């Protein structure tokens, strides 16, 4: 277990260095910093992959039992999502200045929980749990990307002169806004599948689809928060800075709902997540 933990710390160091590269490119308009930011993110992902793989082999189950495992694997998916995204859309490479700092901060928060391995309870041995977990992580990854797009929408719309060369690499604000909408829509679909799969799993394990468990309830509230954004965007053509700020606020709200509230309110989820 020690080896996987050392690799975890190596991943954090690479993610911090990657963040410095991306933020340095934004601050000083140095393209070389941006290139190193991407390379260091890739190196961090390799170390992170090895860490998660070793832990999986050693514990006999996927990384989704406690806060440490959940946040670590959330970050892994988010970094993979970002690297694929920037590979597909080269002009979106600067998003790393937001995505990578969020990644290493979440890794740091993961260390606040117990890093001890836990056995997989019988109630968690279900294929529906796998679907629930996978789509939860895709939801987090897409929402982080939407946050990055929203931040750069706001910076580009304000015309921050110091970072102009860096910002000029990005598409226009209309394109950034459209990408943020599309990524959020994908995240909303993932959130919906997560909730449905979780309900089916709950019925399989405890005999009821919905018990108004606090985490279930807050996940539904998050669903409504993002659903309101999509409804406003489609029906009322919500656009502009207000829309970008809404997505930033929605992300903070989702983080609190999924990762902070379980520490203060006992639920079926908190007995696994908190620790």
Tens of pLDDT, residues 103-154: 999 999 999 877 787 777 776 777 888 899 999 999 999 999 999 999 999 9
d(CA 149, CA 183): 9
> Would you say residue 275 has pLDDT above 60?
no
Mean pLDDT of 215-232: 95
Q: Where are the domains of the chain?
A: 2-273
pTM: 0.92
What's the pLDDT at 210? 85
pLDDT at position 213: 83
pLDDT value at 216 more than 90: no
* Residues contacting residue 64 through CB under 8 Å, at least 6 positions apart: 70, 73, 129, 133
Angle between helices 214-235 and 241-255 (to 10 degrees): 170
Query: What integer is the mean pLDDT of 35-40?
Result: 92
- Cα distance between residue 209 and residue 26, in whole Å: 47
Residue 54 tokens read as 């070793």
- The span from the CA of 230 to the CA of 227, in Å, is 5
Would you state the pLDDT for residue 162? 62
Q: Give me the percent of the chain exceeding a pLDDT of 70.
A: 92
Q: Identify the band that residue 199 occupies on the pLDDT scale cut at 50, 70 and 90.
A: very high
């Amino acid at each position: 277990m020690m080896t996987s933990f050392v690799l975890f710390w190596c991943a954090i160091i690479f993610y911090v260095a990657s963040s410095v590269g991306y933020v340095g490119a934004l601050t000083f308009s140095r393209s070389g910093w941006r290139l190193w930011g991407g390379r260091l993110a890739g190196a961090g992902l390799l170390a992170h992959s090895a860490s998660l793989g070793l832990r999986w082999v050693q514990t006999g189950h996927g990384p989704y039992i406690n806060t440490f495992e959940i946040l670590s694997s959330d970050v892994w998916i988010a970094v993979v999502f970002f690297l694929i995204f920037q590979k597909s859309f080269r002009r979106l490479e600067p998003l790393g200045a937001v995505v990578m700092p969020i990644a290493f901060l979440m890794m740091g928060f993961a260390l606040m929980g117990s890093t001890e391995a836990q056995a997989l309870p019988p109630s968690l041995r279900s294929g529906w749990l796998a679907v629930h977990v996978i789509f939860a992580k895709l939801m987090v990854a897409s929402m982080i990307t939407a946050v990055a797009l929203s931040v750069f929408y706001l910076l580009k719309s304000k015309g921050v002169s110091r970072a102009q060369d860096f910002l000029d690499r990005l598409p226009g604000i209309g394109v950034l806004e459209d990408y943020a909408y599309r990524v959020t829509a994908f995240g909303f679909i993932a959130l919906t599948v997560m909730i449905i799969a979780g309900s089916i799993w709950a019925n399989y394990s405890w005999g009821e689809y919905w018990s108004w468990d606090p985490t279930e309830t807050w996940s539904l509230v998050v669903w409504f928060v993002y659903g309101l954004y999509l409804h406003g965007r489609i029906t009322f053509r919500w656009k502009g800075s207000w829309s970008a700020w809404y997505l930033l606020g929605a992300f903070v709200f989702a983080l609190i709902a999924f990762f902070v509230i379980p520490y203060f309110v006992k639920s079926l989820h908190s007995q696994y997540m908190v620790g």
